[in-house]
Structure 1
């Protein structure tokens, strides 16, 4: 297994590409500026039409709408606000929406909204929260879990969005809109350095070269140092180096027709920071009968431990290429849109599975595992979208997608845990949908949507592990195992919205959702798994909401109550082997039912001139309603609910999880952001100060309910001050993250397959105070 064993820096070609993008940006600024000054063909600034100045316009419902017209819970944040709040990575988006939680990176990442996500290993399972980037839905959510660059707006839609977005949006959608060519030349540069070893650079420039031809080019570069030291190799783990660029070409060859040709490329290389030992009693026997004290290598377990001792550094590399063509033709009464996309994502992981320097099972280098992923998706969507301000509005669409994810996996050969296989997960989707609304004279809007979705999933799996005594009937898939399953489903949404006055409205909605079936593609795959994929998830959701303007126009408020039921929820749980020499098993199963309900509040206000004060709050009660045959967690006793149907001494104990809280979701979350801008007419700059305070209550981390695996509540304050220079469009910011230097335990309880006396901690950049500076320039 030669791939991925060492951290791979960006290739020479990639560095040349990065330099080319930066050079183009530097050259483009004066070129575009000259073009704007000299050419009378440069277009006038676009009028927003029906939308008043200051009204937030979003496109998450596949048409341009004022945010207060949408009958679903939504948070929209501009690219400028993202930069001001130091939100540079996809995972940072959870700071703008307390109901959103993002953990992990790449193929092991998980996105959840209102407690619902998809935390599984199988490449056949899709995310419950769908990332959409410039109108293209991703095939694997890990494609999106990288840097944010040249973003115009991020929209987080909470609750099932299946009517417009299909089978991968049963819990919500994260819609990212990047900047395109603007009618007047624009350019921006953002660079920041943090004393914890982070360097982030983003830049973009664009405008119209001549009448009917516009272009925008953007790029980014990230270089983040590691957080955890591997004593065995001397490497700082948790470091990342990333680079990417995007080009957007807009052509307007004839009146009423526009064509957008887009291409983006991104690369990421990182060393993955493993859990560190927080509590490790002397002479503890770790998995595979390893005595911990013999292989700590000087690591001192404790709450502030930032060291491990492992044979190899766990690594991840990814490469993403996306090409799209978006055409729009204005018919007058409606617009016809065609969106064609091709996505290619390649991801390679390599992990030190045992996390020690011990010669596990006679292997001098212990147990390692990993392999490459390759996900490719072709998609085509057509839409007919009504134009004009009339009372009747509609969208009619058709969607087709054909995706394939290949994965190869290998775990150290010659040991009882050995595994080696290749797999292909296929998915084909065909759908038609319609959505319409009608505004009555009483200012009551009635809306509804329906979607028919046909999905076919397939699997090919071959076990490549040599066997002198192959089992009968191909039970371990030494010959190719194949499977195929199809499903047809109709999802719909009904809503009513009442305008109380031009600035205030209330709404109620009922919607259904769906997430497709999935094959359990992991080690131990069998013909039975090929014939019996996990069943699809189905969703029923009720929502009440109020949006309005209060305090004499100085504040906007959005208040939402929700109640959502999930049936056949897909979840993966670790089954702990009775014999430590047996290989671990992770099973993808369907939880009978679960329910998530709660309240969300979003407040944006200017209580007086120059002060901006925003607050976001979420209360979420997420409970498993039905799961009578769940596996027991490691160390669970009969008194704690672990019983065996076969009686004492049985080999397959289970527990009933009905009524227990769903893991991975805080009950209370809130964020408060404040900024004050000073007026200094006598100076060439205007100073500002800002603060960002976020809180999350404690989180149960173990799906099987181990109460010891609980993350403590955390409260973090970030602060910044700086100045904006009026004549140069320059802003300089100095900031402090985690002002009070709070260090909190992010993963309490024993790691998988460890004794219950062990506690571990996942190190993040939030777990300590850091200082930084940011330089922003806009033309």
Structure 2
């Protein structure tokens, strides 16, 4: 049922919106009379907790649950708050959940939680963080790395979710719930323009056409200008044009049966912003005898350099279609839920690999690479979920998925390491699972979950190079090369939650996780790789949590401690050959063991009427605990730990990475959000001001530990002011991103074919100050 007008920023804890950015909400929080909560089927409703108070309802654990009842760390964010904080793309979600980090786009994207992600080239590898969109688990995480449109809420579950999600999810789940039909006709429009060349438009409308028939239609359009100039072509790189639409048709033929038929389509075309030169000493020579200064084309290296000089513009294009049927039948004591899905994702890339105009390897146009990429997945899930509010809550289910990812890859060069191949990675998952919780009279809740998962993977690889010109690192598979493997695993979770009083609770949990094996599908594929895929990852995770309402209801707090071990971690290892004229090799392998431990603090306060102060703090200590024979990074000396077991002059130098910092993880990160809503009854609008401050400590970018490949610490301040017009549901916002005009360049180390004295930047769109305006209208 519909519960009044939805509002994201309301004065008083008693009026905090549904699925706000603070991850945990207590059962003791007073009723938020003007908020709106969407269930997994899209219908807005408020749920009462076991102790009689209204709380946020989330569905990331495959049943409707009050968020305070979930014994795992979770952050829930409403669609309205995403819009108010200028979060329009999937990659922006890391700004509201600092334990989450998202880098890259498309097939090269990487999502990590608490330091753990999957950054590999192979299409056979699963993502450690599983994006789930409207109850459908994605086959490739790149499918999710686009615009966020008509979102009801986003739920970020941190830590392994191996009981309810068997396809990946060894580090966490990002559950995206889009809006569905509402009882009353409802429409919304959001449009914004930023002076850096961003235009974003979103709209949606829906309601019931007649009794038992509802529909919602939504769409978006993005047109973003580039921010890195290619002097050779005159193009501004980093630009993006995209559009998409979604339809949800709801049929209620009987009081007990609900059917949702969903279809979505999205297209994106972008030019990829490559690394720029940060440090390039004069007269730098490349291994092939080219002087770097000869191809700069007027580019001035430096920390603020936003120019490159490359033969070609790197591009990416993607096309996504998703069809799903969700049926729910109410038996009274329980509900049966069936979800059938079909996903088709097509992605094509073209990359100027060397990023210069130099005749790399004596090829006038240098090295280019890329090709088409197609992922298709059929999935079927069936589950039975208990109804009612008794002490025992349970669900049982079964899951089947059959996916296939095709990739064609071509690297153009006249010598040394050309590539031209076609591959297919197959995966089939069959699983059964169960989860139950029981509340004792002492207000002690015991939860247990278990999942049996059978995973079958396969590979087909065809080397298309002419037989008289094989690359030196791929002497086989010039005919079709195939492989098959399977694995069975049982994962489980045990948790205990104790209500200390109606306002406070604590919990402890132990859970296991799993990520399936993967084939190393790269240009060096061979019969040996087909026979020996990388082993599955396994996870053991411990978590302690506290949740409470303090300061007479003026503050809600959640404190989480975690300790997680990952064994047989899958990683793309870069093997640097001893001869600097030979190209590096990229190999998917099990590098050993990792450990992440830390503390997360979430806080939402309402110290005085009209003022909100929200914060999220994360401390993450992520280290490699076992990797005794890791390759050395480029230029590493014996004093820095690089040794050769064969003695001086040997060809296989290695290092021991045990105890070293894991790459890609800031040790400290936090976000502070403040907003003040003025109460102005004498005029028809209510003004507001808000500020958003985020911080990330320095990040090591190189898994092998190259200290020169480090992203410096950065602090970013965003600010906005505007007014909400009470009678028209219209909000006008003027905002400034990166108020202090801070630069937070990523030092990427030396690129391919360059000496170690060269450093590059990875430029981001929001490195400079920008101004914009946003108009939001609801009807």
Assess same fold via TM > 0.5: yes
CA distance in 2, matches of 1:373, 1:667: 35
Alpha carbons 1:287, 1:354 under 8 Å: kept: no
The 5 Å alignment of 1:85-104 reads: 85-104=85-104
Partner of 1:18: none
Once the two structures are superposed, the pairs formed by residues 472-487 of structure 1 within 5 Å of their partners are 475-487=475-487
Distance 1:255 1:112 in 2: 42
Report the alpha carbon displacement of residue 653 of structure 1 after superposing the two structures with TM: 0.9
In the TM superposition, what are the counterparts of 1:495-514 in structure 2 within 5 Å? Answer: 495-514=495-514
Pairing 1:226-265 to 2, within 5 Å after superposition: 226-265=226-265
1:50 maps to 48
Deviation at 1:361, TM superposition (A): 2.5
Which deviations, in whole Å up to 9, do the C-alpha atoms of 1:509-564 show, x marking residues without a partner?
00000000000000110000000000100000000001111111111111000000
**Matched residue pairs, number?**
736
Q: How does 1:664-683 map to 2 (within 5 A)?
A: 664-683=664-683
The question of 1:524 aligning with 2:495 is answered no
1:381-530 matched pairs, under 5 angstroms: 381-468=381-468, 475-530=475-530
Q: Which residue of structure 1 aligns with residue 689 of structure 2?
A: 689
Superposition pairs for residues 14-29 of structure 1, below 5 Å? Answer: none
Q: Which runs of 5+ in 1 are unaligned?
A: 1-44
Give a deviation string over 1:397-417, Cα, whole Å, max 9, x none.
000000000000001143222
Q: Distance in 1 between matches of 2:461 and 2:45?
A: 55
**Aligned counterparts of 1:613 and 1:428: Cα–Cα separation in 2:** 46
Q: CA deviation at 1:502?
A: 2.0
Aligned-residue offset at 1:475: 4.3
Name 2:118's counterpart in structure 1: 118
- In the TM superposition, residue 581 of structure 1 has moved relative to its aligned partner by 3.6
Q: Is the 8 A contact 1:168 1:516 kept in 2?
A: yes
The aligned counterpart of 2:546 is 546
Q: How much has 1:577 moved relative to structure 2?
A: 2.7
Contact 1:68-1:548 at 8 Å conserved across structures: no
Tell me the SS of whatever aligns to 2:401.
strand
Contact 2:46 2:56 in 1 (8 A): no
Q: Cα deviation per residue 1:272-306 (whole Å; 9 max; x = unaligned)? A: 00000011001112364432101000101011110
User: Which whole-Å CA distance do the structure 1 matches of 2:254 and 2:612 have between them?
Assistant: 44
1:368 partnered with 2:373: no
SS in 1 for 2:426: strand
- Tell me the CA shift for residue 580 of structure 1: 3.9
**Contact in 2 for aligned 1:167/1:513 (Cα 8 Å):** no
CA distance in 2, matches of 1:233, 1:54: 58
**Paired residues of 1:289 and 1:580 also in contact (CA < 8 A):** no
Mind listing any 5+ residue stretches in structure 2 that lack a counterpart?
1-42
> Residue 555 of structure 2 corresponds to which residue in structure 1?
555
**Is 409-418 or 351-360 further displaced after alignment?**
409-418
Partner Cα separation in structure 2 for residue 204 and residue 625 of structure 1: 49
Q: Secondary structure at the match of 2:591?
A: strand
SS in 1 for 2:164: helix
- 1:98-156 residue CA offsets vs partner (Å, 9 max, x unmatched): 10000000000000000000000000001000000000000000000000000000000
Measure the CA separation in 2 of the matches of 1:361 and 1:472. 15
C-alpha distance in structure 1 between counterparts of 2:561 and 2:362, whole Å: 57
Retained in 1: the 8 A contact 2:124–2:521?
A: yes
1:472 to 1:480, Cα distance in 2 relative to 1, 3 A: farther
Equivalences for 1:566-645 in 2 at 5 Å?
566-645=566-645
Q: How many angstroms apart in 2 are the aligned matches of 1:471 and 1:286?
A: 22
Moved more, 407-416 or 669-678: 407-416
Aligned residue runs from structure 1 range 4-403, under 5 A? 47-51=45-49, 55-286=55-286, 288-403=288-403
Partner of 1:650: 650
1:7 counterpart residue number: none
Q: CA deviation at 1:258?
A: 0.2
TM-score by length of structure 1 reads 0.93
Contact in 2 for aligned 1:576/1:753 (Cα 8 Å): no
**Structure 1 residue aligned with 2:710:** 710
Residue by residue over 1:424-482, the C-alpha shift from the partner in whole angstroms, topping out at 9 and shown as x without a partner, is 00000000000000000000000100000000000000111112277999942001110
* CA 1:224–1:497: 2 relative to 1, 3 Å: same
Secondary structure in 2 matching 1:294: helix
Q: Helix, strand or coil: the match of 1:162?
A: coil
Task: Give the drift of 1:751.
Answer: 2.8
- CA distance in structure 2 between the partners assigned to 1:731 and 1:286 by the alignment: 56
Deviation at 1:390, TM superposition (A): 0.3
| Matched position secondary structure for 1:75 | strand
In the TM superposition, residue 664 of structure 1 has moved relative to its aligned partner by: 0.3
Q: 1:49 to 1:649 in 2, by over 3 A?
A: closer
* 3-state SS of paired residue (2:258): strand
The Cα of 1:362 is off from its aligned counterpart by 2.9
Task: Determine helix, strand or coil for the equivalent of 2:375.
Answer: strand
Task: Please give the alpha-carbon distance, in whole angstroms, between the structure 2 residues aligned to 1:368 and 1:75.
Answer: 41
Q: Is the 8 A contact 2:474 2:523 kept in 1?
A: no
Summarize the Cα distance change of 1:304–1:287 in structure 2 as closer, same or farther, 3 Å threshold: farther
1:634 touches 1:753 (CA, 8 Å); kept in 2? no
**Could you give the per-residue CA deviations for residues 24-80 of structure 1, whole angstroms, max 9, x where no partner exists?**
xxxxxxxxxxxxxxxxxxxxx965343567521111111111110000000001111
SS at match of 1:253: strand
Change (3 A) 1:253 1:577: same
TM-superposition CA deviations, 1:217-269 (whole Å, max 9, x none): 00000000001000000000000001000000000011210000000000000
For the 8 Å contact 1:334–1:385, the answer to whether it is kept is: yes
Residue 503 of structure 1: how far off its partner (Å): 2.5
Residue 742 of structure 1 is matched in structure 2 by 742
CA distance in 1, matches of 2:642, 2:535: 26
User: 1:640–1:546: structure 2 CA closer, same or farther, 3 Å change rule?
Assistant: same
8 Å Cα contact 2:278/2:747 also seen in 1: no
Is the 2:421–2:462 contact (alpha carbons within 8 Å) kept by the matching residues of 1?
Answer: yes
Structure 2 counterpart SS, 1:365: coil
* Matched-pair contact (CA < 8 Å) for 1:342–1:379: yes
Q: Hey, what does 2:32 align to over in structure 1?
A: none
The secondary structure found in structure 2 opposite 1:286 is coil
Q: Aligned partners of 1:224 and 1:273: how far apart in 2?
A: 13
1:33 maps to none
Residues 200 and 220 in structure 1, CA contact (< 8 A), matched pair in contact too? yes
Contact 1:369 1:411 in 2 (8 A): yes
2:48–2:54 contact (8 Å) kept in structure 1: no
- Distance of 1:239 and 1:109 partners within structure 2: 17
State the SS of the aligned residue for 1:528: helix
- Once residues 78 and 473 of structure 1 are traced to their aligned partners in structure 2, the CA distance between those partners, rounded to angstroms, is 50
SS at match of 1:63: coil
Q: Which secondary structure state, in structure 1, belongs to the residue aligned with residue 94 of structure 2?
A: helix
Q: What is the CA–CA distance in structure 1 between the aligned matches of 2:687 and 2:89, rounded to whole Å?
A: 27
- Give the SS at the match of 1:361: helix
| Deviation of the 1:578 alpha carbon | 2.9
SS at match of 2:766: coil
Kept in 2: contact 1:319–1:347 (CA 8 A): yes
